Structures are given as C-alpha cells and as structure tokens.
A and B are shown apart, each in its own frame.
Chain A
Amino acid sequence: MSALLRSELLKVRTVRTYFWLLLASVVLVVIASISVSASTGSIGSAADDRSVAQIAAIALVFSLIVGVIVMAGEFTHGTVTQTLLATPVRERVVLAKAIVAALIGIVFALVAELLVLAITVPGASLDFHNARLVFLGILLASPLAGVLGVGLGGAVKSQGSGIAVSLVWLLIGEHIVLLISESASRYSPGRTFAALASGERASHVLLGMSAGAAVSVAWALAFVAFGLLVFVGRDV
C-alpha cells in the first residue's frame, strides 16, 4: 500500500490543479478574514469567536472537490487504464485515493485555520481558546470531505459532473431538504459536516459536534462504499 500511496501522492504533486485549488481556498479565507477584522474591529463573545473561526470551514468545500478530482479525474483524462494496469485490485486504488484525499484535506484545513488565526487574532482579537473546538472540528471534517469526494468521484465518470453534483447539492439540495423537514435536514451531509465544524452544542438546525462527527464519518464511508461498488463493477 505504501508504494501505491507514493504513486498517488506523486500524481498529486505533478499537476498544478491542487495547487490552484489551495490558492483559491486561501484567497477566499483571506478575504473573509480581513472582512471580519475590518468590520468588527474586536470580537465580543465566545460565540463570535467560534463564528469567526468557522471561516476556515471554506476548506471543506475545496477538500470535497479535491476528493472528486483525485478519483474522477482518472476517468476524465483516461489515466484510469494505466492506474489499473499497475494496480488491478480496484479496492486498493480507492483506499489509496481516499487516504491521499484525506491527507490533502488536512493540509487545506491547517492552511485555512492558520490564515484565520494570523489575520483575526491581531485584527479582531480572536480568542483561540474559544475557537479551539471549531478548529478541531474542521481538522476532522476536511479529510472526511475529501474521502466523501473520492466516493462521489468513483460513482460518476467525470470530474466536472462530480464537482457540479457537489456544488448543486450544497447550494440547492441542502435547502430543499431543510424545507421538507427541519429535523431530517440535521442529518443531511452538508449539515452534519457543518455540525462537526461548528464547535457548538446541538440545536434545532444542527446536531451536536459529537453526533455530527459520527454521522459525517457514516456519510463519508457510505459514499466511499457506493463509489467503490460502482468503480469495481465498471468496465474501463
């Protein structure tokens, strides 16, 4: 497995796609953090601290996209053939890609959190003690989002459609679920990941952090299992 991981990490390092995604994530986090610092001046409560720290959750969306590209990009560029010639056991390929996407997810989360801290601590007096659970949640949620993306990427045949499905779900699907049932929406993928990254207790719209973590893990595993099932059965 270590050889396969080296191969997958090499693939990530030898194209610029992931660098551009990291850069886009950095730009959004910087803009959001500067806006908060400039508008609030200083943070008044622990809830405000958590709210500001949640800016780093932008990394989750990018980790999800990374996961989709790591997996579905193989179909988009046709490289899946070579990948499977070297590693014909498809389950191993998916596992390696899930690990790589999770590692990238951790990097994206760390970069986002460090940026939020670097900008908002001096600019708006962010109290790290109040925000620490948010940062921990994002550090857990970001790799899980990457893993979920790998599962989604295994189920679709192009990275474009995988990214489109992800964004449409987050922007529209989640709201439709909320409109249908507020209590059920607490278990939707977007809201469980939001719960994990919130650092908050359970509310009528979000699960608590622990429950959010458990359901997020379940969603990530479910997506990977589904993606694996489709990928294993597919003719290449």
Chain B
Amino acid sequence: MIEVVDLRKRYRKATAVDGLTFKVRDGSITGFLGPNGAGKTTTLRILLGLVHPTSGSATIDGQRYRALDRPLGRVGAVLEASNYHPKRSGRNHLRALAAAGEIRSSRVDELLEFVGLGSAGRRAVGGYSLGMRQRLSVAGALLGDPQVLLLDEPANGLDPEGIRWLRDFLRAFAGEGKTVFISSHVLGEMQQLVDEVVIIHRGRLVAHETVGELTARAVGSTRVRSPQAARLREALAKEGIEARGDGDRLVTAAPAERVGELAAANGVVLHELAADSASLEEAFLELTAGGGIE
C-alpha cells in the first residue's frame, strides 16, 4: 500500500506539499490530479526517495523507498522522458538498469519487444521520439516485474495509438491485482482508466474518492430545446432558476425533473429535455476553483 502521512515539502520561497495525507489501496488504479504546481511531481519524487521531505512520511508497503530490498522488483516508476544518455542505446540503458537491479538481462529484450521498441533498441536514445522514450521508460519500470507502478504524466508525447496501448497495458497490469498510481493531465483518459482519484491543490488534499462519487457530487446541467424557450426562461426565472442559451435552446444547472415540471405547469412545449452528468474534468475544475490543469 502507498501511504502518505502529513507530508510537507518546503523550498526556500515556496511550499510544494503542505500536510498531505492519503492512502492508495492495493490492486487499484488511482489517478493523481491537481493544477500546475499542485505538488504532484514532488509527492511522487518523495515517494521514490528522490526528494527529501521537510516532514511527514511517504511509504510503500510500510517502508521508505530507500529501505526497500531490491526496489525495482517492488516498484516501477515512469518519470519524465528526458533522463537518458543520448549516446547510449535504449537496450544498453535497460541492461545497465537490469544489472544494478540484479535482474536477468534476457528480460531487457523481452520488454523492448513488449513496448514496441524491439527494432529500435540498439539505436542511441538521442534519436528516439518523445513517445519512444516514454515506451522505454515503461520498459524500465517493468524490468523487475513490480507490484506497484508510479507514473508521472505517462501519456505525454504518446500518439493516440500509444495512449491506447498504455491504457490497455495499465488495465491488464491492474487486472493482475497490482497497484497503479498515475498522474495525468488527460482527464478524459483518466475517467476511463482509474478507479479512484486523489486531487490535490496547493499541496493539500482536496478530494480522495471514486470517480463515480466525485462526478455525482459535482453539479451537472440540463439541456432544453423548446419552440417556446423565451416563455420557459421566464418561468424558470420566476422560480429563481437561471438559464442561458440562444434561440430554442437553453441550458440550466437545475435538475431535469424540475425543469420538466415547470414546463408542464406553464404549458411550455418541449422538444428535448436532457440531463448531462458532470465529467471528471468538471468536477476537477469545481474542486480546484478552475485553476489551470497541469
């Protein structure tokens, strides 16, 4: 289990993480969301022992990353895609990583094939596209066949085919009862993929719940199409309900049931009445007060 308890990280002029506490349960895919500068990358790097926290703790299976025995066999991490020696081949990069992790070298070729870099593996990484580097990062993360995957914006640089490949892979990975903790700015993609979301803003926890709970809590909207839209707008306004729209179309935050009842009571003909549920993105924007999405 990934567990973050009262985690704080202060830099000289800024606080990146401010008393963050959450748990990621085993066998789940949990999204990690927050606007730019919310502290997501810092939190992930603290979990991986790359950044020192000012206070608090971040553990995996009850241990700090530094204390894990053969960490590549426990945790795989996909961080930014630029951390390769440009003159070293992808295959040699993985071989060096495998050697340090005491992992059999035949696993390197298996994984290069798995991520679709079988033919490019012997080429220098400097000639790789961003998407190829991301695939190499995924291969590196899987070297030790870990139980936990931490991913920081893994879809960056991937083409639609690559994003689909990543999504299918993560589903299959989690399907084996393994844990995925993933930060991403592609909220639509996250809605399709994750079971739960941890949302942080200015280094603090804003929400930690399932996608269903989160979107249900957020305000949806009702779409109406009527040849008597102006009359309906007046009827809604009398009840204190604001509606906006042009011509025969209106949109309001009131529930569809209420709008339908008011239309019937006022003899307004409706051609369409539809309730739009809130998306993860809308829920996210509500919770973070519309801050820019990282």
Chain A positions near chain B (C-beta within 8 angstroms): 3-4, 6-8, 10-11, 14-17, 73, 77-89, 233, 235-236
Report whether B100 and A81 are in contact in the complex, using a CB–CB cutoff of 8 Å: no
Contacts of A14 in B (CB 8 A): 88-89, 92, 95-96
Contacts of A73 in B (CB 8 A): 85
B140 within 8 A of A: yes
Per the bound structure, the CA–CA distance linking A79 and B77 in Å amounts to 14
Report whether A88 and B49 are in contact in the complex, using a CB–CB cutoff of 8 Å: yes
- CB-based nearest A residue for B143: A86
Report whether B50 and A235 are in contact in the complex, using a CB–CB cutoff of 8 Å: yes
Report whether A6 and B86 are in contact in the complex, using a CB–CB cutoff of 8 Å: no
Contacts of B65 in A (CB 8 A): 88
Contacts A3-B99, A82-B97, A86-B72 given: A15-B87 contact, CB under 8 Å? yes
B173 within 8 A of A: no
Per the bound structure, the CA–CA distance linking A235 and B84 in Å amounts to 18
Contacts of A11 in B (CB 8 A): 85, 88, 96
Q: In the complex, how many angstroms separate the beta carbon of B187 from the nearest chain A beta carbon?
A: 26
B52 within 8 A of A: yes
Within 8 A of A (CB), among B97-134: 97, 99-102
In-complex Cβ contact of A78 among B77, B82, B96 (8 A)? B82
Chain B positions near chain A (C-beta within 8 angstroms): 45, 48-52, 65-66, 68, 71-72, 77, 79-80, 82-89, 92-93, 95-97, 99-102, 140
Per the bound structure, the CA–CA distance linking A7 and B80 in Å amounts to 22
Report whether A86 and B71 are in contact in the complex, using a CB–CB cutoff of 8 Å: yes
- CB-based nearest B residue for A81: B83
Report whether A86 and B82 are in contact in the complex, using a CB–CB cutoff of 8 Å: no
Contacts of B101 in A (CB 8 A): 3, 86
Q: In the complex, how many angstroms separate the beta carbon of B98 from the nearest chain A beta carbon?
A: 8
Report whether B71 and A79 are in contact in the complex, using a CB–CB cutoff of 8 Å: no
Report whether A3 and B96 are in contact in the complex, using a CB–CB cutoff of 8 Å: no
Specify which of B77, B85, B100, B102 lies most central, judged by the most chain A CB atoms within 10 Å of its CB: B100
Per the bound structure, the CA–CA distance linking A200 and B83 in Å amounts to 47
- CB-based nearest A residue for B75: A85
Q: In the complex, how many angstroms separate the beta carbon of A1 from the nearest chain B beta carbon?
A: 11
In-complex Cβ contact of A87 among B83, B88, B100 (8 A)? B100
In-complex Cβ contact of B86 among A7, A77, A82, A233 (8 A)? A77
